[in-house]
């Protein structure tokens, strides 16, 4: 069945290319292309019953990668619609499920959140319909592992360049290793300049100071701008919100974030567990108010000393009765002494006669 993988991939890419040309994410547009290509007849290639399931597994494995990155949002929507159509038009019973690895599930959930935020409710409906039909088969690996299979035999996944987001050349060129190498060269240059010229000369500053942090900051600024632009284009695709409403919402969120971040000062890593202090704009000191509002309960030592002093003032006998834990040193109640019997002779009798 591996011989069918190439033709099936070509048919799927043709369908997705036509859907990409529409510049829309609506399901009705995809359905028109599906019916025009008569794509449901793809399962009729092998009429034998014992081979239909193998062919269906190959078709599902070819179509499922279009649901994950690095493809664009529109191609991922087309991949979702494609899996929905293939799942409901297959000719075997029970139906073959869509194989999804657990490590890719977070990308699928993020894709759903992006669709909800952009108000593409048909995408959300198709995804939840697949969930309700139990169409997903959660696995540990995206492809099944075979015993004694060499890694050289596995073909690497080739992405269609037209479906993938445009790569960023600055991010590919300026990597972490390149920045480290530039920093080492800059430090070596500064050391040689100090060795040759003990006294610094301002005319010899041929290289900008703090070159590596500035270069890294420029790359981060460009990547954030590119990400925000791509997200803005995804929100405006199809029947999403208008440009004015989205721009107003973005400005409002940016102003709220700037005000909230400007008021709270970030604490150091060693003091992250403590409460952040507010820095007011008018210069007032709220530290006294915070300390006054916060209830401070006395410690165990303070409570013990307080009770100790109270008992000393009330009792005249001192501290012995309060702090003795054993009953040895406690004062015992006075016992009544027993009287000894004393014989007294009667009157008129001689005591020596007995």
Q: Where are the domains of the chain?
A: 2-146, 169-265
Helix (H, G, I), strand (E, B) or coil at 89: helix
Task: Give the pLDDT confidence score for residue 38 in this predicted structure.
Answer: 94
- Residue 235 preceded by cis peptide, ω within 30: no
Residue at token pair 């070819």: 62
Report the mean per-residue pLDDT for the chain: 75
209 near 193, Cβ under 8 Å? Answer: no
Angle between helices 27-37 and 5-21 (to 10 degrees): 130
Is pLDDT above 80 for 155? no
Say what percent of the chain tops pLDDT 90. 31
Task: Give the pLDDT confidence score for residue 46 in this predicted structure.
Answer: 66
Distance of CA 127 to the CA centre of its chain: 22
Higher pLDDT among residues 27 and 158, named by residue: 27
Residues 6 or more apart whose CB falls under 8 angstroms from that of 108 comprise 67, 68, 100
Is pLDDT above 60 for 25? yes
Q: Residue 228 is inside which H or E element, if any?
A: helix 211-236
158 near 10, Cβ under 8 Å? Answer: no
Question: Tokens standing for 80?
Answer: 């979702």
234 near 73, Cβ under 8 Å? Answer: yes
> What is the separation, in whole angstroms, between the first and last Cα of the chain?
138
Question: Tokens standing for 206?
Answer: 């041929």
Provide the 10 A C-beta neighbour count for residue 83. Answer: 22
Task: Give the pLDDT confidence score for residue 187 in this predicted structure.
Answer: 84
Mean pLDDT for 136-149 is: 81
d(CA 58, CA 12): 12
- Characterize the bridge pairing of strands 136-139 and 98-101: parallel
Tell me the sheet residues that pair with 136. Answer: 98
Q: Model confidence over 275-334: pLDDT tens digits? A: 545 444 444 454 555 555 556 677 888 888 888 777 656 554 544 444 444 444 445 555
Question: For the chain, what's the residue count?
Answer: 354
Max mean pLDDT among 38-52, 88-102, 197-211 falls in: 88-102
d(CA 31, CA 35): 6
Min mean pLDDT across 76-85, 177-186, 235-244, 301-310 is at 235-244
Q: Model confidence over 102-139: pLDDT tens digits? A: 999 999 999 999 999 999 999 999 999 999 999 999 99
Binned at pLDDT 50, 70 and 90, residue 214 comes out as confident
Task: Give the pLDDT confidence score for residue 283 in this predicted structure.
Answer: 44
Q: Identify each DSSP E strand in the chain by its residue range.
A: 98-101, 136-139
Contacts 24+ apart (CB under 8 A), 212-220: 212/179, 212/182, 212/183, 212/186, 215/174, 215/179, 215/182, 216/174, 216/179, 219/170, 219/171, 219/174
Task: Give the pLDDT confidence score for residue 162 in this predicted structure.
Answer: 78
């Amino acid at each position: 069945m591996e011989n069918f993988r190439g033709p099936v991939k070509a048919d799927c890419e043709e369908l997705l290319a036509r859907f990409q040309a529409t510049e829309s994410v609506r399901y009705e547009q995809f359905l028109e292309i599906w019916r025009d290509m008569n794509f449901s007849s793809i399962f009729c290639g092998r009429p034998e019953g014992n081979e239909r399931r193998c062919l269906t597994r190959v078709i599902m494995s070819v179509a499922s990668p279009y649901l994950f990155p690095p493809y664009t949002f529109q191609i991922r929507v087309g991949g979702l619609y494609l899996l929905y159509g293939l799942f409901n038009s297959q000719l075997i019973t029970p139906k073959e499920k869509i194989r999804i690895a657990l490590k890719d599930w977070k990308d699928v959930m993020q894709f759903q959140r992006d669709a909800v935020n952009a108000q593409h409710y048909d995408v959300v409906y198709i995804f939840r319909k697949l969930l309700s039909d139990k169409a997903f088969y959660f696995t540990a690996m995206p492809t099944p592992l075979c015993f004694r299979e060499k890694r050289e035999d596995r073909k690497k996944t080739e992405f269609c360049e037209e479906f993938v987001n445009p790569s960023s050349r600055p991010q590919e060129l300026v990597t972490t290793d390149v920045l480290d190498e530039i920093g080492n060269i800059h430090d070596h240059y500064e050391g040689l300049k100090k060795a040759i010229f003990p006294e610094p000369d301002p005319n010899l500053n041929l290289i900008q100071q703090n070159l590596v942090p500035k270069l890294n900051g420029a790359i981060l600024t460009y990547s954030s701008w590119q990400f925000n632009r791509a997200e803005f284009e995804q929100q405006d695709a199809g029947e999403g919100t208008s440009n004015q409403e989205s721009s107003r919402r973005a400005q409002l969120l940016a102003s709220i974030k700037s005000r909230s971040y400007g008021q709270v000062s970030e604490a150091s890593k060693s003091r992250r567990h403590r409460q952040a202090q507010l820095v007011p704009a008018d210069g007032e000191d709220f530290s006294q108010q915070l300390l006054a509002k916060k209830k401070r309960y006395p410690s165990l030592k303070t409570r013990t000393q307080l009770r100790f002093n109270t008992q000393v003032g009330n009792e005249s006998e001192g501290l012995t009765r309060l702090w003795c834990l054993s009953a040895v040193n406690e004062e015992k109640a006075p016992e009544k002494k027993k009287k000894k019997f004393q014989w007294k002779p009667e009157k008129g009798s001689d005591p020596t006669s007995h």
